C-alpha cells in the first residue's frame, strides 16, 4: 500500500514530458472468441486464455515474460529509480520487533535485524534473559521466499507448531518444534490453508484444519472445498490424524477451532463459505472422550468471536443485534437466545476486537478510524481507558485470564511501531522497545479531515506530509483506499510511505464505505448492489484533494491492493481524467468469474455473484475488465501481480492488462509488473518489497513530472 500528492507548476512539466513520449509498443496479445451468456445477456471475454495457470501454460508464461520485458525496459529509463532504491534500502535497515507473547512462562517474539528477508523467531526465559533463536526462515531458502506463516505454542511452552508457506502461496505445511532444544520433530502436515493450531492442555497434540489434497493441476486455481478439522498427536504421521468435524453436506463451509483456556472445551467456528463474518458455533467437551459436538449457535446470522469462558458460560464478541459489536455471555446449559446476557453493550464506536486478559475484557474500539481501548470487569463494569501517545493504531493486548501484564504496539503514519508493556493491575504503560528509523517524526504531520461523498455521506480521510506544505495545487499526492470486507484502514507506519513523503509527496488514506470503520451498516453500505458507493467515496476523496489545493489531477496518483486493486481499476474506468497515475495491485478485475477460483467464493457476501441476475446487473456495470473502452485516454497505469497468488489468481491482472493496452488511446504507459515466486503479499521477502516499491515510486516520479527530494 502506498500514497502520493501533486500541484500546478508541475502540471505543465508532467504533461509536456508525457507528450514527448511515443506510445509504447506492447506485446501482441492473442484474442479469442469466448462469449458467455449471463441471464440472457452476451458478454465477450477475449482474453480468457490468460486465466490458465502461468506455471503450467507455456503460452501464458511467454506472455508474462514479454510483458515484464517491456516493463523492465521502461523502468530502466527512469534516472531517479536507483537513488530511490538506495534510499528505501537505507530506511528499511533498522531493527524491528513484534510484541512479545508470554506462553508457558516463556516470552516469544520476532525480530528482523534490518534487511533480513524474513523475521526470525526468538524465545526468552525471562524479559532480562539472553534471547535464543528458535526459528530462522531465512535459512529455509536462498532467496527468502519461504516464510513462517503460523505459530502456536503449547500451554506448557514445551512444543510449538509452525507453518511454512512457499512463494507467497496460501498453502501451508505445518511442523512441530521442541522449544527447549530448538530442534524440529518429524511431524509434517500438508494441505493446510486458512488455519491455525489449537493445542490441548496436555501438550500432546493440537487441532487444525486442512483441505483434501488437490488433484491434477488444481493446486493454485481450483476452489477450496471440504475443509475438515483434525486432531494431530505429536510424533505421529498425518495419516493417523483423527477426524474431529466436517460438513460434507455443505462442502463450501469452513471449519476452525480453538481450545478454551481451562482446556475443557473445543470451540468450533463454522463459516458459511461466503465470508468470515458469519459463523455457527459448535463445541465439544474434551473431558468426555465420547462426547459428540454440540450446536450452540446453529445459524449463520452473525460473527461470534470466542473470548473465553467461566466453566460452562462462554463469552463472545458479536454483532448479533448490535451492528457495532458487543460482548455477550452464553450459558451452554441454557443456550436459547432469550437467555443470552449482554455484558459490554453496543457503543457509538465500533467494537473492533476484544479479549479476556488479566481478568478483564480488553475491548478495542474504533473512534473515527483510530484506536481506543477500554477495559471492563467480567460482569461488564467499566474499569479504565488506555491512554495512548497520539492519533494512531494500537494492537496486541494478548494473554490469559491469569496474566498481570500484556504488551501492545502503537503506530501512526509518522510513528514507527513502538512496543509498550502494560500492567493490568495498575493500568500503566511503559515503553518497552522503540524502533530507530533514520528519520525525524517531528518533520511530518498527520491530520484527519472529513469530506462529502456523492450522496452526501460524510467520509473520513487521513492526510500526511512534511510540515510546511504549501496548498498551491502542485504537490504530488498518493491516495490509497480499500473499501471492503469490513476491513478498517487505521493509521500505521510504512517505510515506503515515509519515503514518499520524504521525497516531497503527500500521502492520503480514505476510509471508504465497505470497510469496517463505523460498524456493519458502514460495511454493508459498500457491498453488492451498493458497491458503487465505494467508488463514489474514492472519487470524492480525489476531488477533495484537488479542491483543497493539495494537488491537481495530473499530480494525483491512486493505489490499492486486492479489493483495493478492484477499486483502482473501477475508478479509472469511471473517471480516468481525475487521476495522473494508477497502481492497482493483485486486483479482482473480472467481477463475473472471481467466484470460480481458489478463495473467490468467500467474497460473494461482499460482491454478490454473476450467478444471480440482480447481482450480475450490478457487477457488470463496474467490473474493471469489462468496462474498459477502446479509444479512451487512461492514466499511466502500473499493474502489479505475482505468479503464485492463489488468493486473487493473477489471471485477473493479466486479462485487465491485455484489455487496457488494447483500449489505451493516448501515450500514457499501461504496464504490468509480474513478480515470480511471490503471492498475494504475505511473507514477501524484504528484497522483493524494496524492488517493487522502487519501481512503483520511479513510475510515479516519471509520470507525475515529479522532482523528488533524495539524499545525495
Grade residue 679 by pLDDT with cuts at 50, 70 and 90. Answer: low
Give me 595's grid cell: 467466484
Burial of 702 (0-12, 13-18, 19+ CB in 10 A): buried
Length reported for the chain: 712
Grade residue 63 by pLDDT with cuts at 50, 70 and 90. Answer: very high
Q: Which CATH number fits the domain 5-89+439-703, given the four candidates 3.30.200.20, 3.40.640.10, 3.40.50.720, 3.40.50.1820?
A: 3.40.50.1820
Q: How far apart are CA 72 and CA 269, in angstroms?
A: 46
274-297 pLDDT tens trace: 776 789 999 999 999 889 999 999
The residue extents of the domains of the chain are 5-89+439-703, 352-435
pLDDT at 169: 84
- Would you say residue 712 has pLDDT above 90? no
How, if at all, do strands 556-561 and 581-585 pair? Answer: parallel
Average pLDDT over residues 698-709: 96
Average pLDDT over residues 27-52: 97
Task: Give me the active site residues, please.
Answer: 562, 680
Ordered DSSP codes for 116-130: -SS-EEEEESSTTSP
- Would you say residue 3 has pLDDT above 50? no
Give me 335's grid cell: 443456550
pLDDT at 55: 83
For the chain, the C-alpha Rg in angstroms (whole number) is: 25
- Would you say residue 9 has pLDDT above 60? no
3-state secondary structure of 27: coil
pLDDT at 218: 64
153-186 pLDDT tens trace: 999 999 999 999 988 788 999 999 999 999 999 9
Q: How far apart are CA 639 and CA 674, in angstroms?
A: 8
- Would you say residue 336 has pLDDT above 90? yes
Half-sphere exposure for 42 (CA within 13 Å, toward CB): 5
618-644 pLDDT tens trace: 999 999 999 999 999 999 999 999 887
Strand partners, 281: 269, 297
700 Cβ neighbours under 8 A, 6+ residues apart: 4, 476, 478, 557, 581, 583, 706
Cell 480521510 belongs to 461
3-state secondary structure of 545: helix
> What values do phi and psi take at 89, rounded to 5?
-65, -40
Give me 255's grid cell: 471449519
Of 94, 98, 88, the closest CA to residue 116 belongs to: 94
Give me 89's grid cell: 534500502
pTM: 0.92
Percent of the chain with pLDDT over 70: 96
How, if at all, do strands 265-271 and 279-285 pair? Answer: antiparallel
594-608 pLDDT tens trace: 999 988 888 999 999
497-508 pLDDT tens trace: 999 999 999 999
What angle is formed at CA 675 by the lines to CA 191 and CA 505, rounded to 5 degrees? 120
> Mean pLDDT, the chain, as a whole number?
93
- Would you say residue 305 has pLDDT above 50? yes
Cα separation of the two ends of the chain: 26
Higher-scoring residue by pLDDT: 302, 220 = 302
pLDDT at 10: 27
Amino acid at each position: 500500500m502506498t500514497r502520493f500528492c501533486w500541484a500546478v507548476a508541475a502540471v505543465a512539466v508532467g504533461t509536456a514530458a508525457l507528450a514527448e513520449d511515443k506510445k509504447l509498443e506492447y506485446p501482441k496479445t492473442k484474442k479469442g472468441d469466448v462469449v458467455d451468456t449471463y441471464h440472457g445477456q452476451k458478454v465477450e471475454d477475449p482474453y480468457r486464455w490468460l486465466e490458465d495457470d502461468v506455471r503450467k501454460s507455456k503460452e501464458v508464461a511467454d506472455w508474462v515474460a514479454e510483458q515484464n520485458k517491456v516493463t523492465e525496459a521502461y523502468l530502466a529509463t527512469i534516472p531517479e529509480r536507483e537513488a530511490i532504491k538506495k534510499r528505501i534500502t537505507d530506511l528499511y535497515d533498522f531493527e524491528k520487533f513484534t510484541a512479545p507473547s508470554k506462553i508457558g512462562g516463556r516470552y516469544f517474539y520476532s525480530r528482523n535485524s534490518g534487511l533480513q528477508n524474513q523475521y526470525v523467531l526468538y524465545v526468552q526465559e525471562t524479559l532480562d534473559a539472553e534471547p535464543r533463536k528458535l526459528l530462522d526462515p531465512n535459512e529455509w531458502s536462498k532467496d527468502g521466499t519461504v516464510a513462517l506463516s503460523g505459530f502456536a505454542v503449547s500451554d506448557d511452552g514445551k512444543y510449538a507448531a509452525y507453518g511454512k508457506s512457499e512463494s507467497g502461496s496460501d498453502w501451508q505445511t505445518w511442523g512441530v518444534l521442541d522449544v527447549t532444544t530448538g530442534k524440529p520433530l518429524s511431524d509434517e502436515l500438508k494441505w493446510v490453508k486458512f488455519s491455525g493450531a489449537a493445542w490441548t492442555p496436555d501438550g500432546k497434540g493440537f487441532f487444525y484444519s486442512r483441505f483434501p489434497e488437490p488433484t491434477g493441476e488444481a493446486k493454485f486455481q481450483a476452489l477450496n472445498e471440504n475443509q475438515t478439522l483434525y486432531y494431530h498427536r505429536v510424533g505421529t504421521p498425518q495419516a493417523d490424524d483423527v477426524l474431529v468435524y466436517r460438513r460434507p453436506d455443505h462442502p463450501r463451509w469452513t471449519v476452525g477451532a480453538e481450545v478454551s483456556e481451562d482446556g475443557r472445551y473445543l470451540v468450533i467456528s463454522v463459516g458459511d463459505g461466503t465470508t468470515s463474518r458469519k459463523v455457527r458455533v459448535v463445541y465439544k467437551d474434551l473431558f468426555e472422550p465420547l462426547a459428540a459436538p454440540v450446536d450452540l449457535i446453529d445459524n449463520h446470522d452473525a460473527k461470534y468471536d470466542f473470548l473465553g469462558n467461566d466453566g460452562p458460560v462462554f463469552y463472545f464478541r458479536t454483532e448479533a443485534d448490535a451492528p457495532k459489536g458487543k460482548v455477550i455471555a452464553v450459558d451452554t446449559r441454557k443456550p436459547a437466545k432469550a437467555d443470552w446476557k449482554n455484558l459490554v453493550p453496543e457503543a457509538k464506536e465500533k467494537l473492533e476486537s476484544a479479549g479476556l486478559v488479566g481478568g478483564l475484557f480488553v475491548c478495542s474500539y474504533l473512534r473515527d478510524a483510530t484506536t481506543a481501548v477500554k477495559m471492563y470487569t467480567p460482569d461488564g463494569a467499566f474499569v479504565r481507558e488506555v491512554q495512548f501517545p497520539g492519533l494512531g493504531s494500537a494492537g496486541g493486548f494478548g494473554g490469559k485470564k491469569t496474566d498481570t501484564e500484556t504488551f501492545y504496539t502503537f503506530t501512526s503514519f509518522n510513528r514507527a511501531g513502538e512496543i509498550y508493556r502494560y500492567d493490568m493491575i495498575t493500568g500503566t504503560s511503559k515503553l518497552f522497545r522503540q524502533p530507530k528509523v533514520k528519520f525525524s517524526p517531528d518533520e511530518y504531520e498527520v491530520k484527519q479531515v472529513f469530506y462529502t461523498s456523492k450522496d452526501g455521506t460524510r467520509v473520513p480521510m487521513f492526510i500526511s506530509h512534511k510540515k510546511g506544505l504549501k496548498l498551491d495545487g502542485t504537490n504530488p499526492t498518493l491516495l490509497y483506499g480499500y473499501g471492503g470486507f469490513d476491513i478498517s484502514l487505521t493509521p500505521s507506519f510504512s517505510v515506503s510511505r515515509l519515503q514518499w513523503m520524504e521525497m516531497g509527496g503527500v500521502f492520503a488514506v480514505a476510509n471508504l464505505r465497505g470497510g469496517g470503520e463505523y460498524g456493519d451498516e458502514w460495511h454493508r453500505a459498500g457491498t453488492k448492489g451498493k458497491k458503487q458507493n465505494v467508488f463514489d467515496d474514492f472519487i470524492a476523496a480525489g476531488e477533495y484533494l484537488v479542491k483543497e489545493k493539495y494537488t491537481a489531477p495530473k499530480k494525483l496518483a491512486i493505489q490499492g491492493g486486492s479489493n483495493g486493486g478492484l477499486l483502482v481499476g473501477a475508478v479509472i474506468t469511471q473517471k480516468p481524467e481525475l487521476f495522473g497515475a494508477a497502481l492497482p495491485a493483485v486486483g479482482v478485475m473480472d467481477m463475473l468469474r472471481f467466484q470460480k477460483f481458489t478463495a473467490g467464493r468467500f467474497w460473494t457476501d461482499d460482491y454478490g455473484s454473476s450467478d444471480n441476475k440482480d447481482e450480475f446487473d450490478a457487477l457488470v456495470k463496474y467490473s474493471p475488465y469489462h468496462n474498459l473502452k477502446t479509444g479512451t485516454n487512461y492514466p499511466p497505469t502500473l499493474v502489479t501481480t505475482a505468479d503464485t497468488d492463489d488468493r486473487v489468481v493473477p489471471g485477473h491482472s493479466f486479462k485487465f492488462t491485455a484489455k487496457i493496452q488494447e483500449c489505451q488511446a493516448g501515450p500514457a504507459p499501461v504496464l504490468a509488473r509480474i513478480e515470480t515466486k511471490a503471492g498475494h503479499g504475505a511473507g514477501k521477502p524484504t528484497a522483493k518489497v524494496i524492488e517493487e516499491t522502487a519501481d512503483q515510486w520511479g513510475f510515479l516520479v516519471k509520470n507525475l513530472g515529479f522532482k523528488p527530494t533524495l539524499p545525495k
